Structure 1
Amino acid sequence: MSAETIVVLGDSISAGYGIEAGKGWVDLLQKKLEAEKFPHQVVNESISGDTSAGGLARIDSALARHSPEWVLLELGGNDGLRGLTPKQMHDNLNEIVKRSKQAGAQVLLLGMRMPPNLGKRYIEIFYQVYPELAKEHDLPFVPFILEDVALKAELMQRDRIHPNADAQPIIAEKVWEYLGPLLK
């Protein structure tokens, strides 16, 4: 693949869980790049249910196969939902960022927040992993990929965890808001 590859390493949010094939935010991002005349190809390396540990286990092969210019890192939500420690998540995401940079890729970190039923303290500690990593590695960072989606029932699937088809263009725009200027 060319140096103009963007790899999305994520979980169900990026894999398009419950969404018709070709209609997820990652597919819409590819269409946006084409419409804006960018030469980039988006490769979706996302797996529903994946954790930061799963992403770490897969990053080397994804980097070797695609030699991306960018890695959009959207992991951590399942770590939080499974109650894994924010330190484990930090260490895994930190290593993914390091390996991506060593391979010559730039990283855009896509932040996630946890639902309130997990408790205020855990939610705050969990969320702080993202701005901390962004600062440690001087990374561009989307504070919350589901910012304009998560609290709107009409944009969420029945499980209240996964965004529905109507939410996908909003998520794609949120990512584009940060990625677009970086590509220019």
Structure 2
Amino acid sequence: MRQINRKWTFLLLIIALVFLQACSDEKQKFELTDSAVILAFGDSLTFGTGANPEQSYPAQLAKLTGRTVINAGVPGEISEKALERLPELLNKHHPQLVILCHGGNDLLRKLNVGELESNLGKMVDLIQQSGADVLLVSVPKPGLLMQASPVYQRVAEAKGVAIEDSIIAKVEAEIEWKSDPIHPNAIGYKKIAEQLALWID
């Protein structure tokens, strides 16, 4: 009898662990109004370098979500300049959600990582002060492994914001999804848009 009870206890424990894992894997969703504006703020990965304008991830995300998505990507921009540019865009568009994907040029140019972290943190502060939510998107550090730079996790944890930590690195690791060594092609941008769409209700 005790052996049967132990088996049931073990089975119930396994079921509970599976349930808890499923709950932990459930992605946070941003509940946006139908008229919500999403500001996609970043550099060339946001702009859509390597594809036609309608194939950029903001353009594809707009189609997937039915929301207005502003493409505020500037190719070649470093985080210091982005921090200067952000307030005007927040005041102009009044977004409900800002997708912040920046810092790739800082990493490529091997600029000070501490300054990148500080600039990203200040951008998050500005976005939150405007009343918008933040989805921080990690960019991989240069190298063969294409792993997201840990700076993004540190910022997300410090500021308590949601983070999409894998999709850019995943796209960058697939030659078939890229137009050049750095930038995605239309398929790559579609993959990014599809993943980001999972965050939005």
TM-score range normalised by the length of the shorter chain: 0.7 to 0.9
AA at the equivalent of 1:18 = G
AA at the equivalent of 1:128 = P
Distance of 1:56 and 1:4 partners within structure 2? 23
Matched, 1:88 2:115: yes
Matched, 1:144 2:166: yes
Give the superposition deviation at 1:51. 1.4
1:56 to 80, 83, 86: 83
Distance of 1:106 and 1:26 partners within structure 2? 17
> Which stretch of the first structure deviates more once superposed, 20-29 or 141-150?
141-150
Query: Residues 145 and 57 of structure 1: is their aligned pair in 2 closer, same or farther, counting only changes over 3 Å?
Result: farther
Give the superposition deviation at 1:25. 1.1
Query: Contact 1:3/1:67 (CA < 8 Å) preserved in 2?
Result: no
Distance of 2:186 and 2:115 partners within structure 1? 32
Structure 2 equivalent of residue 132 of structure 1: 154
Give the superposition deviation at 1:138. 1.0
Query: Residues 88 and 52 of structure 1: is their aligned pair in 2 closer, same or farther, counting only changes over 3 Å?
Result: same
Structure 2 unmatched ranges of 5 or more:
1-33
Give the superposition deviation at 1:110. 0.4
Structure 2 equivalent of residue 10 of structure 1: 42
1:99 to 116, 122, 126: 126
Structure 1 unmatched ranges of 5 or more:
35-39
Query: Contact 1:3/1:69 (CA < 8 Å) preserved in 2?
Result: no
The structure whose Rg is larger is 2
Structure 1 stretches of at least 4 aligned residues deviating more than 4 Å after TM superposition: none
AA at the equivalent of 1:156 = K
Q: Secondary structure at the match of 2:73?
A: coil
TM-score normalised according to structure 2 size: 0.78
Give the superposition deviation at 1:148. 2.9
Query: Contact 2:47/2:56 (CA < 8 Å) preserved in 1?
Result: yes
Matched, 1:41 2:62: no
TM-score normalised according to structure 1 size: 0.85
Structure 1 equivalent of residue 29 of structure 2: none
Query: Residues 9 and 19 of structure 1: is their aligned pair in 2 closer, same or farther, counting only changes over 3 Å?
Result: same
Q: Secondary structure at the match of 1:141?
A: strand
AA at the equivalent of 1:32 = L
